[in-house]
A = this chain, B = another copy of it.
Amino acid sequence: MRTLKLTLAYDGTDFVGWQRQAEGVSIQSLLEDALAAFEGGPVTVHGAGRTDAGVHALGQVASVALTASHPVETLQKALNAVLPAAVRVLGVLEEAPDFHARFSAVSKVYEYRIVNAPFVSPFLHRYAWHVPVHLDVGSMMEAASALTGTHDFAALQGSGGTVTSTTRTIEWIEWDGAQEPDRPMVVRFEGSGFLRHMVRNIVGTLVEIGVGRSAPSRIGAILASRDRAQAGPTAPPAGLFLVAVRYPQFR
Our pick among B10, B118, B119, B182 for the contact of A122 (Cβ within 8 Å) is: B10
- Measured CB to CB, the closest approach of chain B to A144, in angstroms, equals 25
Query: Scoring A residues 99 to 130 as 1 if CB is less than 8 Å from chain B, else 0, what string do you get?
Result: 00000000000000000001111110101000
A88 CB–B CB distance under 8 Å: yes
A137 CB–B CB distance under 8 Å: no
Q: Point out the residues of chain B lying under 8 angstroms from A90, CB to CB.
A: 119, 181
A11 CB–B CB distance under 8 Å: yes
Q: Is the CB of A119 within 8 A of B88?
A: yes
Q: Is the interface of A mostly helix, strand, loop or mixed?
A: loop
Q: Point out the residues of chain B lying under 8 angstroms from A9, CB to CB.
A: 121-123, 182
Our pick among B80, B88, B121 for the contact of A88 (Cβ within 8 Å) is: B121
Q: Within the assembled complex, what's the spacing in Å between the Cα atoms of A13 and B121? A: 14
Indicate the size class of the contact surface on chain A.
20 to 34
Q: Point out the residues of chain B lying under 8 angstroms from A181, CB to CB.
A: 88, 90
Our pick among B87, B120, B123 for the contact of A127 (Cβ within 8 Å) is: B123
Query: Scoring A residues 43 to 83 as 1 if CB is less than 8 Å from chain B, else 0, what string do you get?
Result: 00000000000001000000000000000000001001000
Our pick among B11, B80, B118 for the contact of A123 (Cβ within 8 Å) is: B11
A163 CB–B CB distance under 8 Å: no
Q: Is the CB of B119 within 8 A of A80?
A: yes
A22 CB–B CB distance under 8 Å: no
Q: Is the CB of A122 within 8 A of B80?
A: no
A118-B11 in contact given A90-B181, A125-B85, A181-B90 (Cβ < 8 Å) = no
Q: Other CB < 8 Å A-B pairs besides A9-B123, A56-B122, A87-B122, 12 of them?
A: A9-B121, A9-B122, A9-B182, A11-B122, A56-B123, A77-B118, A85-B120, A86-B122, A88-B181, A89-B119, A90-B119, A90-B181
Q: Residues of A at under 8 Å CB distance from B?
A: 9-11, 56, 77, 80, 85-90, 118-123, 125, 127, 181-182
Instruction: Show 9 A/B contacts (Cβ-Cβ < 8 Å), sorted by A.
Output: A9-B122, A9-B123, A11-B122, A56-B123, A80-B118, A85-B122, A88-B181, A89-B119, A90-B181
